[in-house]
Structure 1
C-alpha cells in the first residue's frame, strides 16, 4: 500500500490552493490551445476563400476578355441590300434566260456551274461546304435569291478560300468547291454569272451588291434554310 501523500486530498490550505491554481492553469492552457487552433482554422478558411475568390475573379475576367476579344476581333458578317437588280454594268458578267421548273433526278445544265434552270424540289441549305454539292439543290437555293460561289480546289488555296468566305453575307450564300471550272472562281446568281481569277477581285462585292437576294429571282423571299444539307457542311 502506497504511503505517498495525495496532494489533491491534502488538508493543507496552501497546498490545496496550489492544486487549484495548477488545474486552472491547465484548463486555461487547453482553452488557449483550442482557441489558437480555431483561429488557425478560421485563417485557413479565409485564405482558401481569398484564393478561390482571386481564382474565380481571374477566371471571370478571362472569360469576359475572351468574349470581348471575340466580339472585337471577329470579322462582322458582310451585309448587302436585298433589292431589285439595279442594272449596274459589271465587267465580265454574263446573263442568261433559264426557266424555273421542279424536276426529279439529275439535270444537264447549259452553264457550268449552272446559273438557273430546272432544279430539285428541295433547296440546299445555304452556307459553306468543303465538298462539291448537288447542282440541282444549289440551283433551287439561287431561285430563292442566293449567290453561289464556286472555286477550283486545285487552283485556289486555303488562304483564298478564307478570303472568299470573309466576303460572304451571313445568309443566302453558298461557298463550295466545283470540279471542271474553266476559271479559278465563279460567282453565280439566278441567270447571272461572273468568272474571276482571284478572291481579291474587286468585282466580287459588286456582284453581291447587284444580285444577292435580288427581287428579280423567281422566289426572292423564300428561305435558304430548312432544306437539305450536302456532305462537307461546315
Structure 2
C-alpha cells in the first residue's frame, strides 16, 4: 500500500471515529435531556400533588370549623305573608325578614345608604342574605363586611340606623345579630341561609330590579 493510500485510509478511519464519538455524545445529550425533562415533570407533579393535598386539607379544616360553629341567637319566623303591594309596609321585625313587599326586588350588592325595606324583602324572597349595620359600627368593621359580601351573588349590605344590634343578618324567615364583623357565625349564617331552606323563590333574579349597588 502506498503512503498516499495509507494516509487516506487513516484520515477516513479518524473521521469515522470522530463521527461515532459525536453520535455517541449526541445520544447521551438526548438521553440527558429526556431524563431531565422527566425529572422536572415528576418534580412538578409532586409539587402540584402537594399543593392539591394542602388545599384539600385546608378545606376539610374549614368545613370542620364551620360545622362546629353554632348559630347562637338565631331567630326563625313562620307563616309570613308574601303579597306584592305598592304601598309602604309596616314590618314586625327590624330589619324585616319577610312579609308583603314591593313588586320589584332590590338589586343585590353593597349600598352606602339605607335601602327601601319593601324592595329588600323582595330580594329575600329570592334567596338573598341581607347584612345591615348601625351607624356606630366602626368603618374598619364595615370594610370587613364588604369583604365578606365581596362579589358573592344573592348578598345585600346596607346601613340600617334604627336597628337594635350593631350588625344583623336577615334572610326570609330567619334573623341573627352579632356585635362584631369578625364573628364566625356570619360566615356560617351565609352558608346556611343564602338560597336557604326557607327561600320562597330560590334562584329567582337578584339583578334587573331597582337600586344601584356600589359593588
Q: TM-score band, normalised by the shorter chain?
A: 0.5 to 0.7
Larger helix fraction of residues: 2
Please give the secondary structure, in 2, of the residue aligned with 1:175: strand
1:90 to 71, 77, 81: 71
**Displaced runs of 4 or more, over 3 A:** none
Matched-pair contact (CA < 8 Å) for 1:145–1:215:
no
Shift of 1:216: 3.0
For residues 99 and 107 of structure 1, what CA distance do their matches in structure 2 show? Answer: 11
SS at match of 2:189: helix
Conserved in 1, the CA contact under 8 Å of 2:127 and 2:195?
yes
Structure 1 residue corresponding to 2:119, chosen from 137, 145, 166: 137
Q: Within the alignment, does 1:211 sit opposite 2:211 as a pair?
A: no
Are 2:93 and 1:114 aligned? no
CA contact (8 A) 2:173 2:198 kept: no
* Structure of larger gyration radius: 1
Aligned alpha-carbon RMSD (Å): 1.8
Answering whether residue 124 of structure 2 is matched by residue 124 of structure 1, we say no
Aligned match of 1:174: 156
Give the match's secondary structure for 1:136: helix
TM-score, length-normalised on structure 2? 0.64
Match of 2:137 among 146, 151, 156: 156
Q: Aligned partners of 1:102 and 1:89: how far apart in 2?
A: 35
Distance 2:152 2:190 in 1: 12
Give 1:80's aligned residue. Answer: none
1:191 alignment partner, one of 170, 173, 182: 173
The normalised TM-score by structure 1 is 0.59
Is structure 2 residue 209 aligned with structure 1 residue 224? no
Deviation, structure 1 residue 221 = 1.3
Provide the residue aligned with 2:86 in structure 1.
104
- Confirm or deny: 8 A CA contact 1:142 1:190 kept in the other structure: yes
